[in-house]
Amino acid sequence: MFYFSHMLHARVAQKRLLALARQFPAVVVVGPRQIGKSSLAQLAFPGYTHLDLENPLDLARVQAEPLLLLEENPRLVLDEAQRLPEVFPILRSHLDRKPRARVVLLGSAAPGLVRNISESLAGRAGFFELGGLSYAEQDLRMLWEKGGFPRVHWSRPRASPSNWYPAYVQACLERDIPQLGFFTSSLRFRNLLTMVAHAQGSVSHLSEFAGSLGLSYHSVSHLLDVLEGVFLIRRLPPYYANVRKRLVKSPKLYIRDTGLLHSLLGITHTRRALLAHPKAGASFETFCIEQLIMHARLTDPSMEAFFYRTHVGHEVDLLLRLRGRLVPIEIKLGLGVPDVRGLETCMQDLGINKGYVVNAGTEPVQIRRNVVMGGLAGTCRALGIAPGMPAGRASARRS
């Protein structure tokens, strides 16, 4: 067996996680597998008992006497909790009887895919999604090229993206999804993922995917539900507005992590290969969208994300509802001043007085009376969602 070790790095998400733990007896942390949920829980909750339900011994222990286990461990972290959904109703009654008990559930599937979790813990749990590494935690350019998974940045020896991502996809499709009760062919899932990658950032046309896969429209929609539920893809919904224009009503589809996207597209994880590829602009758009959504949600948990597009082609890549106001953001790879007519049309249609363009630059500059252009970090500062630098690191051996 080959062992990796890595440093346990503080994450910018830790502040939000601890805030939830002060408000709720249970905290549910979801996100892609190997995104760092276990490491974050170790740093945030050092006095808790940690059990991993992928470990057969821990799983058997919880299955045998779940109530006794909860009684004996008033501070408990259950990793990969989606593997044992029958424990959630027991956990609900335990928390009702023991108001001082605290539990943290870590899962690699969205609550909508896991039977009982949302219903059983309604009103008792705070839900939190952990995304990839922030630009405050790792070099921005490296994150874009190699993706946001800690293993390809912090492990020792460093995991090779060209080897690690194919193995990661295989594990998700052949092990994780079947464990959730979905038994569609892994090859079919892989083919659909590859189609999404080649159409990255485009408005979804499920009938085209269905024809290529030999499936019905509704079957493809179901497969996308599953891929979205294990955090491999993002459906970015359109924004509906009461304006006198016909608006696009289908969502956009994205492979969420750019390292995974580059692997599916056959791009070596280097800047030269990426910039030479025709999907470089779509990749940069994806990276910025994921970073902006992640940091906006850490600041405002009720944040919503959309895109805006009319049938005549006026478009804005990302429209955030942040702190109750709409923020339109266009994303362009490059340093030149882009055409912002789509952005200005959106602002006029929706009555917005300020818009933003994210590019490959640094500090924001005003390019129109009401439009500011700058790099990702500068735009986050301008929006008030810039993360604080994580404080400190702790070392640990991890297999």
Query: Which domains does the chain possess?
Result: 5-130 (3.40.50.300), 140-383 (no CATH)
Give the pair of three-digit tokens for residue 103.
């539990």
3-class SS shares of the chain: helix, strand, coil, % to 5: 45, 20, 35
In this prediction the pTM is: 0.92
* CA distances, 51 to each of 43, 107, 364 (Å): 15, 12, 46
Q: How far is CA 245 from the centre of its chain?
A: 32
Q: Return the exposure string of 227-239: e unless at least 16 CB atoms fall within 10 Å of the residue's CB, then b.
A: bbbbbbbbebebb
pLDDT of residue 7: 55
Q: CA of 263: how far to CAs of 146, 162, 168, 194, 197, in Å?
A: 9, 7, 11, 10, 9
* pLDDT by position in tens, the chain (length 399): 334 445 568 899 999 999 999 999 999 999 999 999 999 999 999 999 999 999 999 999 999 999 999 999 999 999 999 988 889 999 999 999 999 999 999 999 998 877 678 788 888 899 999 999 999 999 999 999 999 999 999 988 889 999 999 999 999 999 999 988 898 999 999 999 999 999 999 998 899 999 999 999 999 999 999 999 999 999 999 998 777 677 788 999 999 999 999 999 999 999 999 999 999 999 999 999 999 999 999 999 999 999 999 888 889 999 999 999 999 999 999 888 888 999 999 999 999 999 999 999 878 889 998 999 999 999 999 999 998 755 444 333 332
Task: Look at the chain and count its residues.
Answer: 399
Q: Which two tokens stand for residue 83?
A: 């593997």
Q: Which residues contact 16 (CB under 8 A, 6 or more apart)?
A: 128, 298, 301
Helix (H) or strand (E) holding 347, with range, is helix 341-350
Angle in degrees, 0-180, between the axes of helices 206-213 and 186-198, rounded to the nearest 10: 140
Q: What is the pLDDT of residue 32?
A: 96
Which pLDDT does position 244 carry in this prediction?
A: 67
Whole-number pLDDT of residue 393: 40
* Eight-class DSSP state of 82: G
Q: Using omega within 30 degrees of 0 as the cis cutoff, is the peptide bond preceding 25 cis?
A: no
Q: In DSSP terms, which residues pair with 365 in a beta bridge?
A: 373
What kind and span of H or E run contains 64? helix 56-64
Distances (CA, A) of 92 to 24, 97, 304, 393: 12, 9, 29, 35
**DSSP string across 140-200:** HHHHHHH-S-THHHHEESPPPHHHHHHHHHHHIIIIIHHHTT--S-HHHHHHHHHHHHHTT
Alpha-carbon distance of 202 to 322, in angstroms, equals 24
